[in-house]
Structure 1
Amino acid sequence: MKRKNIQNSNGITISDSIVMSVKQKHPSMRKLFSVVITLIGMLSVIMAFLGMFHFRYEKSTVVTAFICFAALHILVAVRGQKLLGVYFISVLSFLFLAYRKSATLVMGFKFVYNIIYKSAFTSKINYYKGLKSALEVSSVTTLFVFYIWLLAIVICYFTICRPNPVLPLMVTFPLLEIGMYNGIKMPVFWGILCIAYWLAILAMSTIDVGEYSGGQSGFVRKNNLFFPKRHMKLKVTERCGMFIITSVMLLAALSYGYLKVTHYKRSDSINEKRRNITEAVEDFSIDNLGESLANLSNAFGFNLDYENHKLGNLDHVRYKNITDLTVTLEKPVYGAIYLKDDTCSVYRDNEWFKLPSSNYKSKVFDDFNDYKMHPQCFPATMFRCLIQDDDENTIWIKNSPRKKKHVYVPYGIEDFGKLKYENDTNVIPDGEKKGESSYKFVNINTDAFKELFNMQYDLKQSIGDLPVVIGSSQSTPDVSMRSVFSASSITDPKWRDKILKYCTENDLISYDDYFTFDNSSFDFIYVDPSYLYEHGEVVMTKLMQESYRDFVYQNYLDVPDTAEMEEVRQAYSDIIDREHGNTAHDVFSVLDDIRIRISATSTYSLEPGKLPSGKDFVNWFLLENHKGYCTSYASSGVLLARMAGIPARYATGYIISENDLKSGKKNKDNTLTVEVKDNRSHAWAEIYIEGLGWIPYEFTAGYTSGEITTEPTQPTTAVSTSASDISTTTTSGSSTANNSNTSAVSRTTVTTTVLSTVTSIAGNGGKGIKIHIPKFVRNLFILILFAALLVMFVRARRAIILKIRDKHLTTGEPETRIRYMYSYAEKLLSEMNMQSENGNFKQFASEVEKWYGDIAFEKGSFDLLTDVALRSAFNSTKPSSDELKKCEKMLSSLSASLFKKSSRFDKFRLMYLNVLVKGDQYEDR
């Protein structure tokens, strides 16, 4: 066909090309292709999900539901407008029956999530407990049937009727990502087929080759050539979808063959990262925003260090079994090793804080700095004094990258000149490489101290009430617990000068250079003066302790003055109100009784649940929930010890048990290396023992020096005959009292358990099963529900407005109808920047005809509408039916023109916000 080119004087050439349309020779395959793509989408997502997990359900019922729902909704979608009412009925039926079966669906979800949880975290423990296994098959089957129904509604409509990837992706992707996030292997074929469906539906919604708006005049410019717009439509969306699916599957087959040949396997690090991201997302909480953001950033590989000591903000704890520290010991040690990271002293609003800096403005801390003797070193000095052993040990600690900013210190360290001290709490190595540290130390733990204590206690029992002398051959010495010393007799000149200066500055000199101090390390152990003269550091330590003791009792006995704490005090009054001294024997007797009572009434669990709003954490753990892990036990133990008059504080870090040390790697130089996993992170209590200093004390059930278990424990029902395991004497001093204590604990255990059960059932409406949905799933469901309600509201509003407008335009008196018509025309023209001014209707009509006549509507039709409206308003002339029809036609053309020339956003605004056009009726024009 020849093309006629016309060139004007301006150099612009107008080319008049002819467009032809021809009849297709082959039958259309569009409907068949769309049905095939729909079936691929439904089948792939179901098979991919079922292939990742092993559920118990009725397969025949699920297969039947798939066939029936798929066939029904495909048939309705293929028929188009004629049967779309069936779609509406199906959606309403789905919502109604889902509401009626909500209890069964919730139970089915809980069974399904238990399987997913155990597969994802390799656990044998169900996330939802108390479910009846007899109901598993029926409830899971019901859940799957309803999901298939929902899948058919969404995929069939948005693949066949109106291709759009948004809702199909929303109902398919989360289902598969549950497994992928947790590192569960997906069936390769079905997974790739599902991805191919997503790409196909995306292409079908965006690719429309050769389709133009149609019906509009205008030109398309190419360089200086202008061509009239063609009106040919060439719909190939379904063919493109099939082409994409075929291409993706072919590419997947080639890739799979290559991977098989090269034996490629996805690394464990990728699986671990996906699982970390999942856990961080599920644990995200606005209440714990800082830590949640830190966990999320760390999961994606960005190290954001954040830590606080807020209690009860997590409903569970998960360990990843990754190495946090690598510890090397010069020689084996006895008992567990505690590596402290932080120490807190103030309990307020369910959180632990450090002591205010103002509390440390005491002269004793100036003395610590001046004389290079700090409370952190007291235990090592005194323990060496008691065991009369100068054997040293060395520990090297290397942090993992994610713990690089932390410093971990063992108890019993010795000051060798490269340490900085943070008041009386923490120690910071000076000059060490960041993330690496080493210390000279004597391993201090409760069991090691008790063993020494038992030996001395047995010796005391054999010689009577006289004190045991350390460093002397005397068996029954005649000595006083408070001794007189001469500073000049100290053999070490460094310590001699320091001791003399300290005693002089603090007015401890009685005459000449003599001073007195308590020579007992504990209530019955007396150190031989000759040993003290040779070890001036012990004398200095004991002098410092006498000054430091006042600070300890002033700052480490505080308990919040609240009703919740008073309830705890009353519940444990038989232990904490018992008269006792400050000797080691008395302190351990009380602490052991507290530990036994907590173990008797509580269960160690990594899933204790989140602290209810308005509750006190310690009160909730001890008197209501009775479930918790180390933070619960340590916090409760510290506060109960303080109530009993024993100075205590809260410490965090890591614990290494004897079993961990035994399984360590023996090196060629006879050192021992232990990899400390994240499940050894821990919280414990620090107890102040007069004459020794701060030592760790373990309140957590299942934690001993020999072994550590993070599995759930059961409350103990028996009380040992010796609360502290120090001697064969009973806790209360007599067998009668001990039996009384045992009965009291047993009664408390039974009563507490019954009350806890009754409270749990009552709080759940008597159903006995508490519904708990993971926060991530709950938030996603709320978001989807909100979006659905918003869409329903917008569509309902639009339908009501359109119905009212159609009623006004098509029914009623002619005068009323023409008035509404003109008002509607003014609104449409206003969107096209045409507005009448000063009430000059005829001039406005002339301007509208000039710009849009024969473009947006038939020429002269708006003049007609204006004339009819004016006659009706001022001459009381009724419009004829023929005039009304022409005006209706003009409005329809005007609204269609406005819609087709608008951008996508304006189309949405005109259809759903302003509700000026119908939109859907113009699609095929």
Structure 2
Amino acid sequence: NSWTPVDVNGNEDTFSDDFEQGKIWVQDLDYDLIQRKYADLTPAQISVSVLGASKKFVYAPYASLYSSDGNTDDKKMRPTTESYVKLSSTKYSLYYFDPSLIEERLEALPEAIATEVPALSVNKDRGVDAYSEFVHQKYMDVSKSDELDKAYKEILNEYLGVDIYHKGDWTYEEISTAIKNYFSDNFTYTLEPGVTPKGEDFIDYFLGTQKEGYCSYFATAGAELLRMFGYPSRYVEGYVVLNSQLGEPEDDSTYEVSVKDKCAHAWAEVFIDNAGWYPAEFTPGYDNDNPNLTQQEKDPKEVTTTKSTESKPTTTTQNSGQGGTTSVVTKKPANSSKASTTKKTNSASNGHGAGVMSDAGKTSVSSRITENNSDHGSFVGIFITLGGLLLIAFGVVVHRDVKVKKMRSELSNGDNRSRTVAVYRYMLKYLKLIGITDSRNITDLQLCDRLTEKCQEM
């Protein structure tokens, strides 16, 4: 029911020295390959300043040359042997290849990119060969799951039209498309799929019973299915940021983008021999999109905000004198399309006021004609109002006292399990009280970051 990071020991790592001598890292493989395959392509450069995100990870697009970060000594990026690149400085620059330029080429699918690549370095090629062997050993394990077996056979029969699979008969693009179509036709994307019951296998329950989930579900099952079709794959987490989210640049080339929890995402990566790791997206609705974002969040530069020009109604009170008549007139501005006037005239000799609600402006206007002996009534009204306020305040205090006693009882009485559940429930209430509430699945570290930032703000 969970993914375990690959542990690399010294005996298994036969590639790091070659990559070091070739002056690239494992994480640079896709960039290095594209550079060797397409000599006519010119890499672009991106400079990043991390403002409020976690300082642990590097944020960069695919096909980036991490070893070109522009920093030196202790500020230089540090790759883990197998996984992410550690961020040592909040400012860095990277060379990268624009994916849109590569996708325009018909042969630019991962397997096609990996063929007939000119060799530039003995160390690089030797490191790539050793690393490919390592990947095939580490990223091909498949869970024992009846439902996973059923899904594999259904994809074979219904989406590929065969009973027996031979890897050489199909391209990666055909296999990944078949898996993607299987998910789209039979499963639903939701942020609230419920919990996997105790004792149930995560993949079995998702594929066989639940039939709905968020990105972690589809990425997990998709990675396993890729392995069953002979492709090393792994589960990854990060952020998906659409080009349109950048909005308008602050100058000719600088953008500031707020990458929120809605952009957190999980997907699979597939390893193509001689080509490196490439993203494999299986979550419905995530093809060049993010279904969790509003249209304004997706493309802030295209959404315009209309400001209302309607002004407040004007109110005029006319008093003809003590004991006489009162006119209350409420008017909307002349430029309103529904301007109307409500007029009411009362003869008031008993001290009671006249109230008017105008449909045009939804403004309530009260006018009271007081006589010489009306002070007593005013004092009575004040005392009644004060008494009501005191009763309300008393009720609030009593209500709070009852709630606090109930909370203390739930936190101190009963068995460990019931007290733990109570602690968790009240913790969520306090988080909501300070504005931290979210129905989407986020990691514990993401929640901690949000809590830290919120507490610092307050």
Q: TM-score range by the shorter chain?
A: 0.5 to 0.7
Distance in 2, Cα, partners of 1:423 & 1:669: 37
Picking from 352, 355, 367, the partner of 2:18 is: 367
Instruction: Please give the secondary structure, in 1, of the residue aligned with 2:142.
Output: coil
Picking from 612, 615, 618, the partner of 2:203 is: 618
Paired letter, 2:285:
G
Q: Report if the CA contact (8 A) 1:413-1:439 is conserved.
A: no
Distance in 1, Cα, partners of 2:127 & 2:115: 19
Instruction: Please give the secondary structure, in 2, of the residue aligned with 1:666.
Output: coil
Q: What does residue 180 of structure 2 align with?
A: 595
Asked whether 1:378 is paired with 2:29, we answer yes
- Larger helix fraction of residues: 1
Distance in 2, Cα, partners of 1:627 & 1:645: 26
Distance in 2, Cα, partners of 1:399 & 1:353: 30
Paired letter, 2:194:
G
Q: Which whole-Å deviations, capped at 9, do the CAs of 1:651-684 have from their partners, x for residues lacking one?
A: 11111113213xx231224223322122001111
Q: What does residue 305 of structure 2 align with?
A: none
Asked whether 1:709 is paired with 2:361, we answer no
Cα 1:399–1:373, aligned 2, differ >3 Å: closer, same or farther? Answer: same
Paired letter, 1:379:
D
Asked whether 1:550 is paired with 2:133, we answer yes
Cα 1:524–1:409, aligned 2, differ >3 Å: closer, same or farther? Answer: closer
Distance in 1, Cα, partners of 2:101 & 2:205: 33
Paired letter, 2:274:
G
Relative to the length of structure 1, the TM-score reads: 0.29
Kindly report which structure 2 residues correspond to 1:349-368, keeping only aligned pairs within 5 A, or say none. 350-358=1-9, 361-368=12-19
**1:392 CA drift (Å):** 2.5
Q: What does residue 423 of structure 1 align with?
A: 81
**1:623 CA drift (Å):** 1.9
Q: What does residue 438 of structure 1 align with?
A: 92
Distance in 1, Cα, partners of 2:278 & 2:175: 16
Distance in 1, Cα, partners of 2:113 & 2:166: 13
**1:444 CA drift (Å):** 6.7
Picking from 232, 238, 245, the partner of 1:660 is: 245
Q: Report if the CA contact (8 A) 2:114-2:272 is conserved.
A: no
What is the CA RMSD across the aligned residues, in angstroms? 3.7
Distance in 2, Cα, partners of 1:421 & 1:586: 31
Identical amino acids, percent of aligned pairs: 27
Cα 1:565–1:704, aligned 2, differ >3 Å: closer, same or farther? Answer: closer
Distance in 1, Cα, partners of 2:11 & 2:151: 30
Q: Report if the CA contact (8 A) 2:19-2:124 is conserved.
A: no
Cα 1:568–1:615, aligned 2, differ >3 Å: closer, same or farther? Answer: farther
Q: What does residue 691 of structure 1 align with?
A: 274
Q: What does residue 264 of structure 1 align with?
A: none
Q: What does residue 579 of structure 1 align with?
A: 165
Asked whether 1:393 is paired with 2:38, we answer no
Instruction: Please give the secondary structure, in 1, of the residue aligned with 2:50.
Output: strand
Kindly report which structure 2 residues correspond to 1:525-564, keeping only aligned pairs within 5 A, or say none. 526-527=116-117, 536=120, 540-563=123-146
Q: Report if the CA contact (8 A) 1:409-1:427 is conserved.
A: no
Q: Say which is worse superposed, 403-412 or 378-387, in terms of deviation.
A: 403-412
Q: Report if the CA contact (8 A) 1:638-1:685 is conserved.
A: yes
Paired letter, 2:204:
N
Cα 1:394–1:654, aligned 2, differ >3 Å: closer, same or farther? Answer: same
Q: Report if the CA contact (8 A) 1:605-1:711 is conserved.
A: no
**1:610 CA drift (Å):** 1.0
Q: Which whole-Å deviations, capped at 9, do the CAs of 1:809-861 have from their partners, x for residues lacking one?
A: xxxxxxxxxxxxxxxxxxxxxxxxxxxxxxxxxxxxxxxxxxxxxxxxxxxxx
Asked whether 1:679 is paired with 2:333, we answer no
Relative to the length of structure 2, the TM-score reads: 0.56
Q: Report if the CA contact (8 A) 1:648-1:688 is conserved.
A: yes
Q: Which whole-Å deviations, capped at 9, do the CAs of 1:558-588 have from their partners, x for residues lacking one?
A: 11235454454445453697535469x7111
Asked whether 1:630 is paired with 2:220, we answer no
Distance in 1, Cα, partners of 2:287 & 2:56: 28
Paired letter, 2:94:
K
Q: Report if the CA contact (8 A) 1:634-1:685 is conserved.
A: yes
Q: Report if the CA contact (8 A) 2:222-2:282 is conserved.
A: yes
Cα 1:404–1:378, aligned 2, differ >3 Å: closer, same or farther? Answer: closer
Q: Which whole-Å deviations, capped at 9, do the CAs of 1:187-224 have from their partners, x for residues lacking one?
A: xxxxxxxxxxxxxxxxxxxxxxxxxxxxxxxxxxxxxx
Distance in 2, Cα, partners of 1:703 & 1:595: 11
Distance in 2, Cα, partners of 1:665 & 1:603: 34
Kindly report which structure 2 residues correspond to 1:169-568, keeping only aligned pairs within 5 A, or say none. 350-358=1-9, 361-387=12-38, 388-400=40-52, 403-414=54-65, 415-416=67-68, 418-430=76-88, 432=89, 436-443=90-97, 450-452=103-105, 454=106, 522=112, 526-527=116-117, 536=120, 540-563=123-146, 565-568=148-151
Cα 1:373–1:456, aligned 2, differ >3 Å: closer, same or farther? Answer: closer
Kindly report which structure 2 residues correspond to 1:77-88, keeping only aligned pairs within 5 A, or say none. none
Distance in 2, Cα, partners of 1:448 & 1:619: 40
Q: What does residue 326 of structure 1 align with?
A: none
Paired letter, 1:667:
E
Q: What does residue 224 of structure 1 align with?
A: none
Q: Which whole-Å deviations, capped at 9, do the CAs of 1:391-429 have from their partners, x for residues lacking one?
A: 32113041426x344443432222227332211321124
Q: Report if the CA contact (8 A) 1:374-1:421 is conserved.
A: yes
Q: Report if the CA contact (8 A) 2:6-2:82 is conserved.
A: no
Distance in 2, Cα, partners of 1:423 & 1:787: 49
**1:439 CA drift (Å):** 3.5
Instruction: Please give the secondary structure, in 2, of the residue aligned with 1:651.
Output: strand
Q: What does residue 764 of structure 1 align with?
A: none
Instruction: Please give the secondary structure, in 2, of the residue aligned with 1:395.
Output: strand
Instruction: Please give the secondary structure, in 1, of the residue aligned with 2:184.
Output: helix
Instruction: Please give the secondary structure, in 2, of the residue aligned with 1:592.
Output: helix
Cα 1:587–1:448, aligned 2, differ >3 Å: closer, same or farther? Answer: farther
**1:554 CA drift (Å):** 1.0
Instruction: Please give the secondary structure, in 1, of the residue aligned with 2:283.
Output: coil
Q: Report if the CA contact (8 A) 1:582-1:690 is conserved.
A: no
Distance in 1, Cα, partners of 2:168 & 2:280: 16
Instruction: Please give the secondary structure, in 1, of the residue aligned with 2:277.
Output: strand
**1:553 CA drift (Å):** 1.0
Kindly report which structure 2 residues correspond to 1:29-68, keeping only aligned pairs within 5 A, or say none. none
Q: What does residue 233 of structure 2 align with?
A: 648
Distance in 1, Cα, partners of 2:108 & 2:60: 29
Q: Report if the CA contact (8 A) 1:397-1:437 is conserved.
A: yes
Q: What does residue 812 of structure 1 align with?
A: none
Q: Which whole-Å deviations, capped at 9, do the CAs of 1:264-310 have from their partners, x for residues lacking one?
A: xxxxxxxxxxxxxxxxxxxxxxxxxxxxxxxxxxxxxxxxxxxxxxx
Cα 1:630–1:352, aligned 2, differ >3 Å: closer, same or farther? Answer: same
Distance in 1, Cα, partners of 2:114 & 2:29: 19
**Matched residue count:** 293
**1:353 CA drift (Å):** 1.4
